[in-house]
Each structure stands twice: as structure tokens, then as C-alpha cells.
Structure 1
Amino acid sequence: MLKISKVLNNNVVVLDDHGQESIVMGRGLGFQKRPGDSIDSAMIEKTFSSSEPLVSDRLTELLNDIPIEVITTTERIIAVAREHLKGKLHDSIYISLTDHCNFAIERFRKGALIHNVLLWEIKRLYPDEFSVGLKALDLIEKYIYFRLPEDEAGFIALHFVNAQLNGDMQGVYQITKIIQEILNLIKYQLNIDFNDESLDQQRLITHLKFFVQRMLAGDQSEIINSPLDEAIHAQYPEANYCVGKVAKYISERYHYMINNEERMFLTLHIGRIYEKSPKKQ
């Protein structure tokens, strides 16, 4: 028999199974219940447990104030994301996305809409996450009866980018901005147009995500010369020149030195794109 440890509200309670707490949700689950009472497992719609106490504690606090329909709809959105996204999602997504969706719905009800200034970049840099964001708008409309604007699909997409990188939202905004700066520099230096459907471009963007994350974290690995360096630089001279410009820009603007190994990989990614790209006249 399942015993209640805490009652958060009529729809959310905490169970204690031999010292391991779990949060369970279901409509009317906590109605007229007290700690020590038993519950019917058939009424449970969602169970959440985390090995990280801070995540669990923050979620407990959050779920105390958020309507059950927002909680269950957010869970449906996360389930869609787990199905469609390749990266592993950190448990913090349950906190950040539930909080965001609740706040977005409250803002919409009040007519207080926020313009997403990075929407174009998000569509281009994170197409899979943005697709999930659009599906999230469909789910919110289906279960909560509000159609949020496309800007919100972009915000939701960034939450999933953040959950895969296990960073913070401000960091994800900055990563997105810097990636776009680098792509603009590559486009200008090589006089090419990007093909957003290109697998080579998606590989470059994935590489840049983690490169910029390391850069912002100040992770300056030891400079190691590889025998492949000269061969790759010789094979892709235009890309090598372009990477030199990127390195100079990063050094001057962000005070970060791109090491030889990083330059080699960037040259390889950019070189492949350059070889296949139609050149602008």
C-alpha cells in the first residue's frame, strides 16, 4: 500500500518509500488526504523521482502552485521531446519547462506577449528542438485551450537545448548568439550561402554548440599538435584561412584562444561545407 509523506495540493502528493521520496500526480489524488494516509495507485497519472535533492525540492515547491492541467500537459511535451530529440534531457527540464509554460499561459491570458528576438536563429540552429516547440503549442492548445504564438515555440525549444547541454538559460541564449556570429563570419569570408538541410552544416552547428559551451566555461585544453593538422589545412586552404579569421574574432571579442585541435576540426567541418556550397557571384 502506498503511503503519503506530504500533501502538496489536491492533485500532488509526496510518497516516502524507505527514505526515497517520489512526487506523484493525479487529479484528486490529495483531496482530503493527510500524511500517513494510503492512496489508490490507479489514480496516479505521473510519478517523478530524482537522485538530485535540489531538483526534487524545487519541483515540490513548484508543483504546489501550478494547476494540474499545466503539469500534465508539460509532461506530455517532455514525452514528445524524449521521443524526437537525440540528446539526453537533464531532470531540470521538469522544473524549467513546467514553470515556463505556466508563466507563458498566465502572460497570454493577460495579453502580455513577449517577442522572441532569437526566433530566426532558433529555427535555423535548433530545427529538431523547434519542431518539438511547435508540437508543444499544439498540446497546450489541445489540453489548455490556448494557442500560444510561434515565439513561444522558440522559447520552449531553448529549454530543450538547455536540458541537453545541462547549462542555464542565459548561457543558452549567449551560445545561440555566438554561434550565429560565427556562422555569419564564415558566410561572409567564404562568400557562400548555407543549406539548412545539409548534414555537413548540422554537424558544424553541433560542433559549435559544444565549442562555445567550452569557451564560455573557460575550458582551455592543452595545445597539442596533431600530424593531421597540416594535411587538413592543406586540403582545405580556404576553410583554414576562414578559421584564422574566426579565431581572431573570438580572441578579440571573447578573449579566448582557439587551440590547434579545435582549429583542425573547424577547418574540416567548414571545408566540407565549402566544397559542396554554390558560391555567390
Structure 2
Amino acid sequence: MVIYKILNNNLILSKDNQGHEVIIKGCGIAFQKKKGQQIDEKRIEKVFVAETAQISKEIQGYLTSIPEIYLDFVEEYVNEVKEKNGMNLNDSIYFSLSDHIMGAISRLKQGIRIQNMLLLDIKLLYHKEYEIGLDLLQKVNETFETDLAIDEAGFFALHFVNSQDSGKTDSYQISIIVHQILDVVEKYYENIKFQEENLYYQRFLTHLKYFAQRFFHKELHYEENGELFQIIREQYKEAYGCVKMIYLMMKEEYEYDMTEDEMLYLTIHIQKITEDHKRLQSI
């Protein structure tokens, strides 16, 4: 390959055999080099393929604005995850995760901590990715001598969720099942108008989105909480009645029998929404 443009001593812009722009990373790969010269392939560490000129510009922006200490750390960690877990991740994770880690550490130095309101949902519905997030959090804190909170493990996990190239269900399929469940809830509570900006409602929507995504990929993972389910079912009878209607819809539409744990978490979410609605109405 030929040097098309030198971005810095470690980054070169070139083109592959199909004419797509590629960004090539390698320690000192552009040192004392000029446009038009051949690239020393022995120095190539990573090749990022840009499908469009816009994507190429975005990749260049990330690579030139994020310190190499973060990029190198993430590249090594992500490659280990790929090899260990057999995960097929697209290149976007190298940039998005590096940028996130850099930003999180910077915010912490300014005394800013961001609470992850979806931590429980992520932990329950993306178990494998959450475990990776926990491991990454520990390594980040050790490597950069910082003290990022456990909330970041959830944020890290979502980077691995969003970067998987495993043929994820498209947004249309997800939106269909989410709409079907919401329709059941709204008909069951016909006298309640849910507020979309309500925090509990937003968490419920997120839960449904993750549930639908996992359902279509047969990747639903829950820990068994049979005893807790019995308690919740008795304590929140109205919300559980709504969940039973959702169960019947899933059975009829998809021939799927929801597990007790799936019903448990839906019951808790619906109970929180209705309790908060009643609280707001009494003010």
C-alpha cells in the first residue's frame, strides 16, 4: 500500500485494493516518510477500514484527538476480549471506548461522577458484557491509578453490546415487540396516561428494548429468584395481573413462555411506574 496522507508519526491514510480509505496505525510508521511512498508493512499494528469518506474523517478525528495511552490500552484489552470470548466486534469500539474512558477519567478529576440509572437493567440483560465491563473497570482503575465507580462498568458493557457484529435484530423488529407490550400495559391501565419523560417510564422502555433484543437472539439471561417472585406476585397483584396479560400476548404472538424472572422484573417496573403516577397525582 502507498501513503496517501500522513496524519502523524504513527498514523497514515491509504487505500485498499477496493479503493476504500484505510487508516493505518503503527509506532513510527510515518517517521521520515512522504506521500506516495510505500508503507512498511512490518510496522503495521492495526488497519481501520472506512466505508465512506465521512467515516474516514470521524476515525481520523478520534485517532488524532485521543492520547495514544488510551488507544493502546483499549486496543490491547479489546483484542484480548475478542480472543477469549470469541466476540465479533466492529472497529468502532476502539474509538468509542477510548473516548469514553478518557472522558470518564477527566470528569472524575473535576469531581464529576455520572450515575448509571440503567445499571441494574444492564447487569440483568447483558450478563456477559457486564462481567467484561467489571473486569475492564478494575483494569482501568489499576492502569490509570484512578477510582471510577461501578456505574462505569455498565457504560463499558454497552460499548461491547453496541459493537457486536453478530447480526443484531434491527430496530424495526425491536420496536414491534416493545410497542406490543406497551399496548398491553396501556389497555390494562386505561385510566392512566403515562408520561414519556418520567424516569421510571424511561427505564421501563429501556428494559423492554433490551428484553426484545435478547429475545430475538435467544440470549435472555436471568438469575433464578423463585422465592422473590412469589413475594412480588403477592405484594403487587395489580401489576402482576398486567404482566400475566403480557405473558399471554407473548405466548400467542411468539409461542414463547416467559420465565418467572422475566415476569418478576416486568412486575417491578410496572409497579414503580404506577406508584409514581399515583404519587404525582396526589401532589
Given the two structures, how large is their TM-score scaled by the length of structure 1?
Answer: 0.58
For 1:32 and 1:5, locate their aligned partners in 2 and report how far apart those are by CA, in whole Å. Answer: 15
Residues 98, 73 of structure 1: CA spacing in aligned structure 2 closer, same or farther, 3 A cutoff?
Answer: same
The alignment status of 1:6 with 2:5, answered yes or no, reads: yes
**CA-CA distance at 1:153 after TM superposition:** 1.3
1:209 is the counterpart of 2:213: yes
Residue number in structure 2 paired with 1:21: 21
Pick closer, same or farther for the CA change 1:208–1:137 going to 2, 3 Å.
same
The answer to whether residue 204 in structure 2 is matched with residue 178 in structure 1 is yes
Amino acid across the alignment from 2:252: N
Partner Cα distance (2:150, 2:30) in 1: 36
Provide the rounded CA distance (Å) in 2 between the counterparts of 1:179 and 1:76. Answer: 35
Distance in 2 between the 1:244 and 1:212 partners?
A: 25
C-alpha separation in 2, matches of 1:7 and 1:174: 50
Aligned residue in 1 for 2:192? none
**Preserved contact between residue 116 and residue 155 of structure 1 (Cα < 8 Å):** yes
**Which letter does structure 1 place at the counterpart of 2:157?**
A
* Secondary structure of the corresponding residue to residue 3 of structure 1: coil
Residues 173-182 or 103-112, more deviating: 173-182
Shift, 1:48, TM fit: 1.9
Equivalent residue letter for 1:11: N
Residue 195 of structure 1: aligned partner: none
Deviation at 1:130, TM superposition (A): 1.1
Shift of residue 84, structure 1, vs aligned partner: 5.0
Quick one: distance in 1 between partners of 2:89 and 2:202? 18
Unaligned regions of 5+ residues in structure 2, if any? 176-198, 218-238, 264-283
Distance across 2 between alignment mates of 1:111 and 1:272: 38
Given that 1:84 and 1:132 are in contact with CA atoms closer than 8 Å, whether structure 2 keeps it comes out as: no
Letter in 1 for 2:259: I
Looking at structure 1, the residues matched to 110 and 76 of structure 2 have their Cα atoms a distance apart, in angstroms, of: 25
- Partner Cα separation in structure 2 for residue 141 and residue 76 of structure 1: 16
Separation (CA, whole Å) in 1 of partners of 2:60 and 2:112: 27
Secondary structure of the 1:117 match is coil
Aligned length: 212
Partner residue of 1:260? 252
| Residue 246 in structure 1 maps to residue 250 in structure 2 | no
TM-score w.r.t. length of structure 2: 0.58
| CA RMSD after TM alignment | 4.2
